């Protein structure tokens, strides 16, 4: 009997270990801050195509994968970014903006990393729950005109000289035209914060938004000309990064 006891104990310990291993994955997959998260990083919001996330340094944003292209909007900015996606090693996906800058990295295990100017090497983010899809708001041409005037006023304050905005639109195209004006003003503000920003902005006294077949930005004779493709929604106008790059040439 004495010899049988160690084998009996070993059997009990083996059963307990097996039960623990069977129980562990369900807990790790279900609880925030679980062993799974510590091993593989924070997950994407399970089953949610549109979700809110927050980074380790406190930046919060909405990531919308319910449409093509995917979209992202940071809570501290009026801009919505249209992203392109490309497969990376190990099954990861890299999401970039329209100047090729990496914004997000998603792993096949569900981890998400955010890349910013302050954290160029990346910062892990955690899902906070469901969010509303990112959409252009419906508006009248009169409302569009008011947004364009507001954008002109904001850009003029940043440049410290008048920057006139010109645009025309139908009720169908008004939302994107207004959004383009807002993003352009954001770009001007960003330029004004640079050391050489004042000199750069002396080259711009007018912004003209026109419709075309291909998104474009060019400065001609102090006129910042922006071409939009209205049928493409947020992807049909340049990002503030692209506008800054064009104005910097």
Mapping DSSP onto H, E and C, the string for the chain reads CCCHHHHHHHHHHHHHHHHHHHHHHHHHHHCCCCHHHHHHCCECCCCCCEEEEEECCCCEEEEECCCCCCEEEECCCCCEEECEEEECHHHCEEEECCCCCEEEEECCCCEEEECCCCCCCCEEEEEEEECCCCCCCCCCHHHHHHHHHHHHHHHHHHHCCCCEEEECCCCCCHHHHHHHHHHHHHHHHHHHCCCCHHHHHCCCCEEEEEECCCCEEEEECCEEEEEECHHHHHHHCCCHHHHHHHHCC
- The answer to whether residue 36 scores a pLDDT higher than 50 is no
- Lowest-pLDDT range, 11-20, 181-190, 236-245? 11-20
pLDDT tens readout for residues 93-141:
999 999 999 999 998 888 899 999 888 999 999 999 999 999 999 999 9
Give residue 46's pLDDT: 56
**Range 34-46 average pLDDT:** 44
Give residue 44's pLDDT: 53
Give residue 17's pLDDT: 35
Give residue 89's pLDDT: 86
**Range 40-69 average pLDDT:** 82
Give residue 147's pLDDT: 97
- The answer to whether residue 150 scores a pLDDT higher than 60 is yes
Give residue 81's pLDDT: 98
Give residue 48's pLDDT: 83
User: Is the four-CA dihedral 180, 68, 72, 48 of positive or negative sign?
Assistant: positive
- Whole-number mean pLDDT of the chain? 85
Q: Which residues contact 218 (CB under 8 A, 6 or more apart)?
A: 224, 225, 246
Scanning the structure block, which residue is given the tokens 């003029």? Answer: 156
- The answer to whether residue 19 scores a pLDDT higher than 80 is no
- What are the sequence ranges of the domains in the chain? 40-130, 141-247
pLDDT tens readout for residues 207-240:
999 999 999 999 999 999 999 999 999 999 999 9
- The answer to whether residue 10 scores a pLDDT higher than 50 is no
Give residue 166's pLDDT: 96
Residue 55, beta-bridge partner list: 125
């Amino acid at each position: 009997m004495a010899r049988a006891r160690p084998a009996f104990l070993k059997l009990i310990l083996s059963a307990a270990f097996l039960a623990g291993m069977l129980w562990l994955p369900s807990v790790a997959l279900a609880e925030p801050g679980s062993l799974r998260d510590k091993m593989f990083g924070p997950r994407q919001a399970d089953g949610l195509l549109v979700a809110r996330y927050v980074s380790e340094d406190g930046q919060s944003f909405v990531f919308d994968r319910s449409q093509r292209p995917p979209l992202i909007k940071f809570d501290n900015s009026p801009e919505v970014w249209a992203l392109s996606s490309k497969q990376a090693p190990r099954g990861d996906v890299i999401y970039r903006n329209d100047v090729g800058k990496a914004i997000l990295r998603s792993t096949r295990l569900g981890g998400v990393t955010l890349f910013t100017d302050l954290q160029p090497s990346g910062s892990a983010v955690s899902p906070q729950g469901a969010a509303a899809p990112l959409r252009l708001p419906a508006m009248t041409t009169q409302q569009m005109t008011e947004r364009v005037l507001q954008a002109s006023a904001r850009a003029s304050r940043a440049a410290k000289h008048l920057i006139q905005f010109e645009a025309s639109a139908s009720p169908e195209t008004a939302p994107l035209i207004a959004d383009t004006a807002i993003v352009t003003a954001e770009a001007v503000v960003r330029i004004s914060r640079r050391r050489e920003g004042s000199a750069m902005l002396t080259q711009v006294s007018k912004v003209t938004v026109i419709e075309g077949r291909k998104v474009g930005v060019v400065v001609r004779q102090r006129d910042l000309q922006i071409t939009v493709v209205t049928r493409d929604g947020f992807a049909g106008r340049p990002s503030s990064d692209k506008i800054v790059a064009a104005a910097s040439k």
